[in-house]
Structure 1
Amino acid sequence: METLLYIGKVNLYWILLIACYLLMLRNHTFFKWNRYYLLGSLCLAFLLPLLIYPENAPVIPVVYQLNAAAFTISANYEEAPVLSKTQVIWAVYAIGLIIAAFQFLNHIIQLRKFLKAGEIIKLDDCTVVLIDSNNTGSFSFVKWIVINRTDYEHHFDAILRHEMVHTQQMHSLDILFIEILKVLFWFNPFLLLYKRSMQEIHEFLADAQAPNRDHYARFLVAYALKAPITSLTNHFFKPSQIKNRIRMIYKNRTSKWMLSTYMLALTVIGSTALFVAGCEQTEQNEAELAFINSEKAANDALANEKVFTVVEEQPEFPGGQQAMFQFLGRKIKYPTAAAKNNVQGRVFLQFIVTTSGDVRDIKVLKGIGSGCDEEAARVLALFPKWKPGRQNGEPVNVKYHLPVNFQLEESDEKTSSSHKEAAKSAATVVHYGPLSR
């Protein structure tokens, strides 16, 4: 569950970061800074959820300890649900991940076949792939520049100069990085905004290298193309970007003092991250404070009073020992991880029944792991108030040791003798697996 919460926070920070870009930075002509911001924000979102609000950690007081004799019970096991909500969420995520990864690999394979099908022209800084199909527009990918015959014959110099900016500045790696994130976080539509914004910045960077902006702007307007666009490449012409590209070509350069807006954006993001971390820390501290106060009251009482191991009148679960057996039988679940890994054995627990009948100071003295220790302690924490033990007619604190035996069995026949034997010395939780063949 912690991992799911972390993933959720990463995606929420992406939304905040892209919103800051669209509202505060998109219209600047600091194209390189905008590129760095988009790349940095994608990475920064992984770190912000780990931000911890600075505060001294509270100290939880220790309860006075004494040894005590063991108390044993026997209990049956009720099988837990096959799939938890968390497992269902992970299953849905895995299905989406497989589909997204398949689509991504398919694009890579198709692009590889496409690059191999053309005529190769080696240049000093790049490789030109000349294709016969005029239905495909010119584009670049990493070090390859793909140009169709029509563009090669009529617009080769302008397109080559433009696409070489993409290859020299490795713009395709930015798109590949975002595409990988889209595979891993296929459920986040805001990554599409990151991709479109990044592609837009790439075109602005390439257009800025044109020697004559008037001639180049007229060339863009005259260039008509209705070809499909490959999602992993930097395409020379996209109808949806032509208006913004021409606007940016003629736009006056943004004043340098506007670089302060990047600091403002970082301040907003940092403040938000600290605010969120502070809210989480406040909630945690309130819960810890409530826990500390309740524990302190109990500990003060236990520290000032003697804890007995043998008393004249033992504490009693409401309804007696049989009722306690039934309670444990209903509540204890054999952990799925323990059953799958064939983990079995005894978990030794210790707790104190106070003078008011509360169960306090639950501890695992010796465990077997795989969730068994936590499950046993969880159920003991659910105990209702007991009838307190008495010594010389007065209620006293009594400490118990409770061994809980987690046991794997394949059939009822095999369970009979071993279960009865285990019940003599420990509360027994039995997991019934399939019959061996």
Structure 2
Amino acid sequence: MKLSKTVSARLRFCQRRMDNRLIAYTFGPKPSAFVTPFFQSSTLKQRILMLQKSETNRWAIVKYGFVALFTFSLFLFVAACEDRAKQDVVNNKEITVSGQIFASDGIPIPGANIVLNGVQRGTTTDAKGRYTITVPANGTLLISFAGHKSQEIAVGGKTVVNARLAEGSDGTAGRFSGQTTDPNRPAEKLTAEQDKEGIFTVVEKNPEFPGGMQALSDFIAKNMQYPEAARRAHVSGKVFVRFVINTDGSFQDVQILKGIGFGADEETIRIIKAMPRWKPGTQDGKPVRVRYNLPIKFDLENQ
């Protein structure tokens, strides 16, 4: 049975189309990446190898975690060290600190000692109890005055440091060291004709009245002659006096820093000059001249 020409032509077209598809599939582009080619031997081999591969060792996971934690901790440590170094630079920076020192009753104390802890640097308050000193921002100030308990105050970067000293004695007044003069005046030195030593205000060991501070208080109370003018005017208060104790324990340059008048200032000077010689102060184990500040209390009620 012979096929018609039309059918024969269609069969030849279909055969050529199939041949072209086979050639295109064999040598043409690979199938789309969105279709999983399970029939490809290379991909199938990879999947079989992955299925046969053992699970990751738990100890390896722990090690990886430890390494990551150590790296992170090291980063934090380095950052903290950098911050600490920057903070140390700030803390060691010199700043100017000023303030005022008061007694327990709120009255300013002239002649109080302000010393930088651990360094031979210090100053004294003026007649209004004010002072100015240059210290590191992280320094500590030691504040003392005869007849009052000493205080230790951290600067903490503050530029104003005030203090109130309670009456009494804690035995620490003679432990501070340093050399200074009144901050409102240039350094005062004795002339070569008088003495080559300087006048200290803060020394390793302060001058001492024979018998100590209690004996000094007893001497003042026993020898004080309450001024009649102050008695009539009912005047009480403290007279702050400054004087120089020489290397032999004698006195000179007695000055009233802050008085109350009515004859109390003159009586204070008389008491100082009537005192016996003191044990001189020492610096580096040697006697030195020391400028000493002392409050003399006039209390009418106890007379």
**Band of TM-score, shorter chain:** 0.3 to 0.5
Greater RCO (CA < 8 Å, at least 6 residues apart) = 1
TM-score (norm 2): 0.37
Whose helix proportion is higher, 1 or 2?
Answer: 1
The structure with more strand, counted as a fraction of residues: 2
Scaled by the length of structure 1, the TM-score of the pair is 0.26
